Structure 1
Amino acid sequence: MELSDFDSREGTTLMVTIRPYSQEDCEVLRSLVLCLHETLRPLDTDLAPGDQIIDRYFQELMTKVESTAGAVFVAEDDSGLVGYVCLWGCISPEDLDERPDPFSFMAELFVRPECRNLGVGRSLVERAERYAAECGTYKIELKVLARNEAAVRFYEALGYVPRVMVMSKYF
């Protein structure tokens, strides 16, 4: 799918292709996953340094995509991959008091900083939402760090609403 994303505030256009991830993208996708992790570390002191976890984390991320009939979609422009979204297709609720129907989970979304505010993230989310609907799930959930205010605003603008808040107290 070819998209032309226009940001009226910037007055620029970014041509991207949103397509399914392929094995040839593996190393670049891994580097984008690491970039996301390192971007989030200043917002959450519980996150370990990326170089300590990336191999195991990336493998688990991709295993979960496969085991849930999920998908990874990448955004590509003339320079290469500029973003991705990772969707777990059919997840069963863990809490016994929740509705028992499977749902989809948007595990990760990342757009390179220089490509943000140009509609790339929105296009990736829309593609993930279409895939979730194709899976037959009734909702899509995601987690966002409470201190990541820009991401919270982004998801709220797309119609996502808070459902559960996890709170921590450190000693």
Structure 2
Amino acid sequence: MTVVVRAYEESDHDDVRSMADRLTAGVAPWRDTEKVAGAVRSWVVSSIVAADGEDAAMFVADVSGVIAGFVSVTQQPHWSGEVDGYIGELVVRADHEGCGIGRTLVAAAERWARERGLARIRLATGAANQGALRLYDALGYEQEDVILSRAIES
């Protein structure tokens, strides 16, 4: 299987949007599923729009004419004041998981950040998204911040 990673093109729009719901994996079970789905769809559209600028990009993995995944990357300030690369979304179609496409897309995002002189790249994923956590661990990503939440009884 040959994977070609290339910049997002307008003709990829429907394929990329059709994968948005995969971004709901690992979201906390107490979150409203309809609101979560709406939010991830909005993120993807925002990333598509941002990819036209200089401070963001979107790459797709093309496998024999099938868009098998995508990654979005931006420059984002860290709270320390440093500017990092930031992977906003990484999605691989279910029928292409385990083929190295996620690794290849992350490498494209890292290359984009490196070309801009950025020293680090960050991302966030759902705490229960074990597949993503395993991938990021295997790629050398380290836990930096942890977000905790608690229900407030009324």
Q: Say whether the fold is shared (TM-score over 0.5).
A: yes
Moved over 6 A (4+): none
Deviates more, 1:19-28 or 1:155-164: 19-28
**Displacement of 1:53:** 4.4
Alignment equivalent of 2:144, drawn from 159, 163, 166: 163
The one of the two structures with greater contact order (alpha-carbon pairs below 8 A, sep at least 6) is: 2
**Displacement of 1:91:** 1.3
Equivalent positions of 1:1-171 (< 5 A) are 14-33=1-20, 35-40=21-26, 43-46=28-31, 48-49=33-34, 52-53=38-39, 56-66=42-52, 69-88=55-74, 90-93=75-78, 95=79, 98=80, 100-171=81-152
Are the counterparts in 2 of residues 68 and 91 from structure 1 also a CA contact under 8 Å?
A: no
Give the number of equivalent residue pairs: 151
Q: Distance in 1 between matches of 2:32 and 2:53?
A: 25
Q: Structure 1 length as normaliser, TM-score?
A: 0.77
**Displacement of 1:55:** 5.7
Q: Distance in 1 between matches of 2:94 and 2:126?
A: 18
**Displacement of 1:39:** 3.9
Shift of the 137–145 alpha-carbon distance from structure 1 to 2, 3 Å rule, reads same
Identical-pair percentage? 26
Provide the alpha-carbon RMSD of the alignment.
2.2
Q: Structure 2 length as normaliser, TM-score?
A: 0.85
Q: What is the CA deviation profile of residues 61-102 of structure 1, one whole-angstrom value per residue up to 9, with x for unaligned ones?
A: 3344445611111011125101011111x2122x3xx1x221
Q: Distance in 2 between matches of 1:44 and 1:143?
A: 17
Show structure 1 runs of 5+ residues with no match: 1-13
Q: Distance in 2 between matches of 1:27 and 1:112?
A: 13
Supply the AA of the counterpart residue of 1:20.
Answer: A
Q: Distance in 2 between matches of 1:67 and 1:87?
A: 11
